[in-house]
Amino acid sequence: MGKIWIPGAMPVELLLILAAVFFAFVAGGWVLKKQGRPIPKFWQAILIWIAAYVVLRYVLYPPIPSALLKTYMGLITLVLFLLVSSDEESWTEFKDPILKVLRGATPGFRSIRTITFVALPALIAFGTYDTIVPKFEEPIELRTVHPAPPASVKVAGKTFTLQTAENPFRVDEEGKYSRDIQQQHVNDNPWDPNAVKYMKYVREGGAIFFQNCHFCHGDNLDGRGMFAFAFNPIPANFTDAGTIAQLQETFVFWRVAKGGMGLPREGFPWASVMPPWEQHLTTDEMWKVIMFEYWHTGFYPRTWD
Amino acid sequence: MKGILKGSSKRGLVIGLTLFALIGAVLVSTVVITTAQEEKAAAPATAAIPPKATPEDLEAGKAVYFRKCVWCHGPEGAGDGPGADRLWPRPRNFNQGTFKIRHTASGELPLLDDLFQTVTHGLPGSAMPAWDGILSEKQRRQVVEFVRTELVKDRDFTDAETETYTPINFGKQVPSSEESIARGKEVFMNKGKCVECHGPEARGDGNATQKDEWDFPIRPADLHKCWNFRGNRGDPYNPANIFREVSTGLNGTPMPSFADVLSEEQRWDVANFVISLCPKKQIDPLTMKPNNDFVVRSKFAEGDLPTDPDDPKWQEMAPNYVGLGGQITHKPRNFVRLVDDAWVRSLYNDKEIAYLIEWDDRNKSVATPEALAMAATFEETPPEGKPIAEREYPVFNDAAAIQFPTKWETLNAPEKPRFMFGDAKNGVDIWKWSADGSVKMLNGSGWDQELVPHGSGEVTTPYVQHKDGQWRVIFKRPLVTDDKEKAVQFTTGQYIPTLFFVWDGHNGDTGRKTSLSSWYYTILMPPIPTKAYVYPLFAAAFVIGLQFWVTSKVKNGKKK
C-alpha cells in the first residue's frame, strides 16, 4: 500500500510493466482520437519516453544498474524513432513542431526556441561535468553464492562424507530414514502433543532456530532478521527458490557447521558473519535446525543424483 | 535532413529530461501524500463491538499461528516461546489483552484493524517482522482472529458489558512548520512533561529504571530514530503516528495518554516536533531502516582539522548512517545490543585524518574495578530460565573502535581481513577509545587471538563528550606512520576497508560482546580535476554552434 516499488522484479515482470504502460498509452491515444482530440505525434513520443524512464528508474525495486538503464533507454529511443518514421505522413507530423520551433514560426515558437537554445547547452555542460567529476561509489564485488563443497567435513571429532551422509532425524515412527516424511507432515502442527516423531524433531529445530538464527535470517527465514540491515551482503533468504531449495541437506550442514570462516576465497569469508555453529551447537542440533528450515519453507532438499 | 534528425532527437531528450524531473517529483509526492492519507483514512469512524470469530477463521488462524508465531509468542500466547528469553523487548504476552499500538482510548482493547496493521507492518526496533507479502491479507486477518479469541484470555473483545471502543479524534491536522515545531518543543519541555522520561534531547535518557506491566525493564523511546518506532506502520515520517500514540498512550507501559492533558492542536505540534528530530534519510523498504551507504567520503580540509564537532567543516558534511548488529558469531554473544546505529563523518588534510563518530547511548558507563577484573572471563550465557531482559551486568566501559586492514595496499581485491579482529593471514589495525579515557592502537590477527597494543603513529581523541544520551567522539591520526607493518597508511583516492565497533558498558559489553558494522570503505576524496571545469565549456560551445547551424539549414531549406 502506497509503495511504488516492486520487490524482486524479474525481467519478465519488467517487460510486463513496460508493456502495460505502452498499451495504456495506445488505448488512451485511441480514446482521445475517437473524441477528435488526438495527441500530436511529437508529444506521444515524448510521453512514452518519459513513462518508460520513470518505470525503469523509479518503479523497479531493487533498482537496475545505471548502465542497463542507459541501454534500455537507448533501445526505447531507437524504437520510438522507428515508430514515428514508419511512414512519411507520421514522420512529417512528428517533425512539424520541431521545424516550427527551429524556424520561430510564431512569437510563441520563437520564445520556446530561445529557452531551448539556452537550456540545451547548459544541460550538456552539466552532463559533461557530471560524467567527469569523480564519483566515489562502493566497488562492485561479485561473490560466488554456492561455492563447491568439500568432499567431507570434520565436525566435533566426527567425519561426515557429504555424498553419503543423511539427516539422522528425517525418520518415520520406526526411526528409519524416510525421504517422504516431510511431504506427509508439511501442514502438521509441530506443537501438537500427539505429533509424530519427525514433527517433534522439527519443533526442536524450530526452537533452536528462534534462539540462534532468526537474529539474521529472520522470523520468516527470509534473510531479514533484526540485524540484517547492518550486513553487506545480507543474510541468505531460505524462502527464495535459489538457496536451500537448490542444495543438498549435507551442503547446508557443511555451511552451518563451518560458517563464514569455512568458505573458500570466492565466497568472501571475510564478509560473512555466519557463525561456525560447531562452536555453539551439537551436530544433532544442527541437523534438527536444518530439517526445520526445510519444513518451514516447504522446500525439499536436493538429492545427489 | 540528417541535421534535422539530430536536432529533433536532442530536442526530445531535453524536453524529456525536463519533464521527467517534473513527473518524478509529482510521482514521489503523490506516494507520500497517499500514504499519509491512508493513515488518516484508517482512523475509524465508528466503534462497534466486533463480531465473534468464525470457526473457519479460527482454524485457519491457528494453523498460521503454530507455523509462524508460536516460536516467540509461545503455545499459550504468553510471550514465552523458545525464542523469547534472548529477546528484548520481549514478545507480547497476549493473555491480558494489553496492546500498545491502538486507535482506542487508554486501557481499551485495540480495534481488529489495529492488530491487523501490527501483523502487516511489524514492530520496528523489535523482533516482530512485517508479515506483509509473507502472509496473505486473509491469513493475517485469520491469525488476528485466532489470537484475539483464543490467546487473549482475561478479556473478551466481543463482550459489550465489559468492553468499549472509543477511537481517538484526529481533529484538524496542524501542518508541520517552524512555529508548530517550536510550540511542540515547548509542550514537550513543560506542559506535557515528556522531557521527564524522554530526556532533554529526547534520546530516551530521562528515566532508565522503568518497568512494564510484566515487571520487565523498559526504556523510553529514543525519539531521534523514527524508523525504530514500534507503531510507525511502515511510514516513519508521518506525524499522525505520533499523534495517535500521544493520544492513546501505550497500554502496559509507563507511557500515558495525553488526550485529556493536551489539546488536539498541541498533540499535533508535539508530533511535528518529534518527527523533526528524525534525520531525513531514504528508508530501505525491505528493512525499513535508513539505507547504509558503505563509502565514507573523507573530505579535504584546509588548515588544521577542526576538533569541535559543531565546526561548520564537520556540519556541512552529510554523515554516513552505519547500521550495527549484535556480535553473535563467537562467544560471548550479544543477542540484545542496545546501540543499533552510529553516524560517521571524516575529514583529512595534508598531515592527518579525523573521524567523527556519534551514537546514542542513554547512560555514560565507566568501568568499575570489579567489572574490569572479570572482563576477561565474562560469558554472555543467560542462566537457565532467566531471560536476558532481566540480567544484571557489571558496568564495563562504553567504547568505540575503528578497524582497518593493516596492509590494505597488498590485498588482492576484494579480499579483506575477517570482519572480527582480522585473521592469521590478514591482520588489522584497531583504534579503540574507551570511556575511561584510554585510547589504544591494537593489532588483531583473529577472533580468538589477544589484541596486541602497538606504538606506531599516534591516535588521539581531541573531542569526547557524552551529553543527553549521545556520545560524540573525534578520532585523529597522522596519515602515515613510521612502522608500516603495524599501522594502516592512508593515501588519497583509494578504497580503504573500514569497520566500526561500539560497546555499551551498561549492557555488559566488553571484548567480543559488542555491536559492529559490516566492512565499509573510507576514501580520501582527491580534489576535483581542472578538466571537470574545462570540458563542459567545450561541450556547451559545440552544442551552441550546432544549434545555429541546424537553424540556418532549416531556414535555407524553407527558402528553396
pLDDT tens column, A257-272? 999 999 999 999 999 9
Going by pLDDT thresholds of 50, 70 and 90, the confidence category of residue B381 is low
The arithmetic mean of pLDDT across residues A242-266, rounded, is: 94
Which residue in B121, B4, B131 sits closest to B67, CA to CA? B131
Q: Confirm or reject contact between B550 and chain A (CB < 8 A).
A: yes
Q: Which of residues 324-383 of B touch A (CB under 8 A)?
A: 324-326, 328-331, 333, 335, 340-341
DSSP three-state, residue B9: helix
Q: Confirm or reject contact between A68 and chain B (CB < 8 A).
A: no
Q: How far apart are the first and last CA of chain A?
A: 44
> Under an 8 A CB cutoff, do B8 and A98 touch?
yes
pLDDT at B173: 96
Q: How far is A305 from chain B (nearest CA, A)?
A: 31
Which chain B residue lies closest to A45 (C-alpha atoms)? Answer: B12
Q: How far is B201 from chain A (nearest CA, A)?
A: 26
Going by pLDDT thresholds of 50, 70 and 90, the confidence category of residue B514 is very high
- Rounded CA Rg of chain B: 28
Residue that the C-alpha cell 489539546 belongs to:
B263
> Under an 8 A CB cutoff, do A224 and B324 touch?
no
pLDDT at B17: 47
> Under an 8 A CB cutoff, do B526 and A207 touch?
no
pLDDT at B351: 96
pLDDT at B9: 46
A54 chain-B contacts, CB cut-off 8 A: 20, 23-24, 27
Q: Which of residues 205-264 of A touch B (CB under 8 A)?
A: 206-212, 214-216, 218-220, 222, 224-232, 239, 259-261
Give the mutation candidate from A118, A210, A279 for the B interface (greatest B CB count, under 10 A).
Answer: A210
pLDDT at A33: 86
What pTM did the predictor assign?
A: 0.84
**Confidence check: pLDDT of A219 > 70:** yes
The arithmetic mean of pLDDT across residues B516-545, rounded, is: 92
Which chain A residue lies closest to B137 (C-alpha atoms)? Answer: A1
**Confidence check: pLDDT of A101 > 90:** no
The arithmetic mean of pLDDT across residues B367-372, rounded, is: 88
Name the least confident of A41-45, A171-175, B45-49. Answer: B45-49
Q: Confirm or reject contact between B72 and chain A (CB < 8 A).
A: yes
Alpha helix segments (H runs only) across B159-311: 178-189, 195-198, 239-248, 264-276
> Under an 8 A CB cutoff, do B285 and A7 touch?
yes
**Confidence check: pLDDT of B309 > 90:** yes
Which residue in B19, B290, B252 sits closest to A50, CA to CA? B19
Q: What b/e sequence results for A61-92 when a residue is b if at least 16 CB atoms lie within 10 Å of its CB, and e otherwise?
A: beebeeeeeeebbeebbeebbeebeeeeeeee
The arithmetic mean of pLDDT across residues A277-302, rounded, is: 96
A295 chain-B contacts, CB cut-off 8 A: none
A123 chain-B contacts, CB cut-off 8 A: 14, 17
B83 chain-A contacts, CB cut-off 8 A: 207, 210-211, 214
Which chain A residue lies closest to B86 (C-alpha atoms)? Answer: A211
**Confidence check: pLDDT of B325 > 90:** yes
Q: Which of residues 126-145 of B touch A (CB under 8 A)?
A: 126-129, 131, 133-134
> Under an 8 A CB cutoff, do A214 and B528 touch?
no
For chain B, give the mean pLDDT: 90
> Under an 8 A CB cutoff, do B525 and A136 touch?
yes
Q: How far is B61 from chain A (nearest CA, A)?
A: 12
Q: How far is A175 from chain B (nearest CA, A)?
A: 24
pLDDT tens column, B45-65? 557 899 999 999 999 999 999
Going by pLDDT thresholds of 50, 70 and 90, the confidence category of residue B27 is very low
**Pairing, β B295-300 against β B341-348:** parallel
**Confidence check: pLDDT of B35 > 50:** no
Q: How far is A168 from chain B (nearest CA, A)?
A: 23
User: Which one-letter amino acid corresponds to residue A88?
Assistant: E
Q: Which of residues 38-67 of B touch A (CB under 8 A)?
A: 38, 62-63, 66-67
The arithmetic mean of pLDDT across residues B406-426, rounded, is: 95
**Confidence check: pLDDT of B2 > 60:** no
Of A101, A189, A214, the CB nearest to B83: A214
The arithmetic mean of pLDDT across residues B428-454, rounded, is: 97
* Cβ proximity of B397 and B510 under 8 Å: yes
**Confidence check: pLDDT of B495 > 80:** yes
**Confidence check: pLDDT of A6 > 60:** no
Q: Which of residues 467-486 of B touch A (CB under 8 A)?
A: none
The arithmetic mean of pLDDT across residues B15-35, rounded, is: 47
Going by pLDDT thresholds of 50, 70 and 90, the confidence category of residue A11 is low
Higher pLDDT, B204 or B48: B204
Q: Confirm or reject contact between A5 and chain B (CB < 8 A).
A: yes
Q: How far apart are CA B397 and CA B279, in angstroms?
A: 28
> Under an 8 A CB cutoff, do A121 and B543 touch?
yes
**Confidence check: pLDDT of A39 > 70:** yes
Q: Confirm or reject contact between A34 and chain B (CB < 8 A).
A: no
**Confidence check: pLDDT of B560 > 70:** no
User: What kind and span of H or E run contains B453?
Assistant: strand B452-453
Going by pLDDT thresholds of 50, 70 and 90, the confidence category of residue B558 is low
> Under an 8 A CB cutoff, do A121 and B525 touch?
no
pLDDT at B529: 84
Q: Confirm or reject contact between B21 and chain A (CB < 8 A).
A: no
Of A99, A129, A137, the CB nearest to B532: A129
Name the least confident of A202-216, B23-37, B332-346, B442-456. Answer: B23-37
A294 chain-B contacts, CB cut-off 8 A: none
Of A80, A139, A232, the CB nearest to B292: A232
pLDDT tens column, A47-92? 889 988 988 888 776 677 888 899 999 999 999 999 888 888 888 8
Q: How far is B295 from chain A (nearest CA, A)?
A: 6
The arithmetic mean of pLDDT across residues A26-40, rounded, is: 85
Cell numbers describing residue A110 = 520563437
> Under an 8 A CB cutoff, do A46 and B19 touch?
yes
Name the least confident of A9-18, A87-96, A116-125, A145-154. Answer: A9-18
Q: How far apart are CA B466 and CA B472, in angstroms?
A: 7
The arithmetic mean of pLDDT across residues A26-32, rounded, is: 86
The arithmetic mean of pLDDT across residues B460-468, rounded, is: 97
pLDDT at A262: 94
Q: What is the 3-state secondary structure (H, E, C) of chain A?
A: CCCCCECCCCHHHHHHHHHHHHHHHHHHHHHHHHCCCCCCHHHHHHHHHHHHHHHHHHHECCCCCHHHHHHHHHHHHHHHHHHHCCCHHHHHHHHHHHHHHHHCCCHHHHHHHHHHHHHHHHHHHHHHHHHHCCCCCCCCCCCCCCCCCCCEEEECCEEEECCCCCCCCCECCCCCECCCHHHHCCCCCCCCCCCCHHHHHHHHHHHHHHHHCHHHHCCCCCCCCCCHHHCCCCCCCCCCCCCHHHCEHHHHHHHHHHCHHHCCHHHCCCCCCCCCHHHCCCHHHHHHHHHHHHHHHCCCCECCC
**Pairing, β B295-300 against β B520-524:** parallel
Higher pLDDT, A59 or B81: B81
User: Which one-letter amino acid corresponds to residue B346?
Assistant: S
Q: How far is A134 from chain B (nearest CA, A)?
A: 7
pLDDT at B559: 52
